[in-house]
């Protein structure tokens, strides 16, 4: 009852060849990936970073929006005088803002946006952290980053509601030296007048 005995034979041969070459590819892939498995053993820090990402914190004032098209772009500088420039920024609730921050100094600085309370807590949490851990820790934050001298980084954030927020640098001593500034988020559902207010 077999209709195409010769065809079946060819198919069987082709399958045999395909299986053989797949086996060869798999063997190569295993060889290549072996060193990668053995590699990261010495770096304990990476485990912490991944754990941190798993428990991404929620923010009361909005969320990162890396894929959104920004409504407005805010350029800021981090300075060795322990200041951000400009010192006060105003954006609208509901808007998507791209912050482009440049470290104009000779030493590293950090930049993050958070509530005033959140920045205070972050600063307190940094006090006992070794510098090497601190840099990695802050670069892993969804609401900020660390900048080497001369470096520029950007963050796109969607602000959900009005309120007073704060930019801050949490490198040792910088926050206490005054490296924080104010972000006013105006407007929103409960404050329509704020939408029409002029920026100062
Ligand atoms: Cu700083």
The C-alpha atoms of residue 100 and residue 74 are separated, in whole angstroms, by 6
In a domain, 181, yes or no: yes
pLDDT tens digits, residue range 111-125?
999 999 999 999 998
How much distance in Å is there from the Cα of 122 to the middle of ligand 1?
Answer: 14
Q: Is 113 within 8 Å of 165 (Cβ atoms)? A: yes
Q: What does pLDDT average to over the chain?
A: 76
How much distance in Å is there from the Cα of 76 to the middle of ligand 1?
Answer: 13
Answer yes or no: is pLDDT of 175 > 50: yes
- Whether 115 and 159 share a structural domain: yes
Q: How far apart are the first and last CA of the chain?
A: 89
Answer yes or no: is pLDDT of 20 > 50: no
Q: How many domains does the chain have?
A: 2
188 vs 190 pLDDT, higher one:
188
- Whether 15 and 69 share a structural domain: no
Residue 163 — left, alpha, or beta (φ > 0 → left; ψ -120 to 50 → alpha)? left
In a domain, 46, yes or no: no
- Whether 32 and 69 share a structural domain: no
In a domain, 54, yes or no: no
Q: Which pLDDT score, from 0 to 100, does residue 129 have?
A: 76
User: Which residues form the domain of 22?
Assistant: 5-38
How much distance in Å is there from the Cα of 105 to the middle of ligand 1?
Answer: 9
Mean pLDDT of 102-111: 97
pLDDT tens digits, residue range 33-83?
334 433 343 343 444 444 444 455 689 999 999 999 999 999 999 999 999
Q: Is 65 within 8 Å of 159 (Cβ atoms)? A: no
Model-wide pTM > 0.85? no
- Whether 66 and 146 share a structural domain: yes
- Whether 71 and 31 share a structural domain: no
Q: Which pLDDT score, from 0 to 100, does residue 111 have?
A: 97
How much distance in Å is there from the Cα of 109 to the middle of ligand 1?
Answer: 4
How much distance in Å is there from the Cα of 123 to the middle of ligand 1?
Answer: 12
How much distance in Å is there from the Cα of 101 to the middle of ligand 1?
Answer: 12
- Whether 11 and 82 share a structural domain: no
- Whether 149 and 78 share a structural domain: yes
- Whether 27 and 68 share a structural domain: no
- Whether 189 and 108 share a structural domain: yes
In a domain, 119, yes or no: yes
In a domain, 85, yes or no: yes
How much distance in Å is there from the Cα of 178 to the middle of ligand 1?
Answer: 9
Q: Residues 111, 112, 117, 121: what is their CA dihedral angle, to the nearest 10 degrees?
A: -70
In a domain, 140, yes or no: yes
The C-alpha atoms of residue 145 and residue 153 are separated, in whole angstroms, by 8
In a domain, 87, yes or no: yes
In a domain, 129, yes or no: yes
In 40-58, which positions are buried (b, 16+ CB within 10 angstroms) versus exposed (e)?
eeeeeeeeeeeeeeeeeee
How much distance in Å is there from the Cα of 180 to the middle of ligand 1?
Answer: 9
The C-alpha atoms of residue 96 and residue 160 are separated, in whole angstroms, by 9
- Whether 13 and 73 share a structural domain: no
- Whether 189 and 109 share a structural domain: yes
How much distance in Å is there from the Cα of 116 to the middle of ligand 1?
Answer: 17
Number of alpha helices (DSSP H) and beta strands (DSSP E) in the chain: 5, 10
């Amino acid at each position: 009852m077999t209709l195409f005995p010769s065809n079946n034979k060819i198919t069987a041969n082709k399958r045999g060849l395909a299986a053989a070459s797949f086996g060869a590819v798999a063997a190569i892939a295993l060889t290549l990936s072996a060193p990668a498995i053995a590699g990261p053993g010495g770096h304990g820090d990476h485990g912490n970073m991944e754990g941190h990402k798993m428990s991404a914190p929620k923010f009361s004032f909005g969320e990162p929006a890396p894929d959104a098209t920004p409504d407005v772009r805010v350029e800021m500088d981090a300075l060795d005088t322990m200041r951000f420039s400009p010192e006060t920024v105003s954006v609208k609730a509901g808007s998507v803002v791209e912050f482009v921050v440049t470290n104009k100094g000779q030493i590293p600085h950090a930049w993050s946006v958070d509530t005033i309370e959140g920045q205070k807590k972050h600063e307190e949490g940094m006090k006992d952290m070794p510098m090497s851990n601190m840099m990695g820790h802050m670069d892993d934050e969804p609401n900020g980053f660390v900048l080497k001298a001369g470096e520029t980084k950007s963050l796109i954030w969607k602000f959900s509601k009005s309120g007073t927020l704060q930019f801050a640098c949490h490198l040792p001593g910088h926050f206490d030296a005054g490296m924080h500034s104010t972000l006013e988020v105006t407007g929103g559902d409960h404050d329509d007048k704020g939408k029409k207010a002029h920026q100062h």
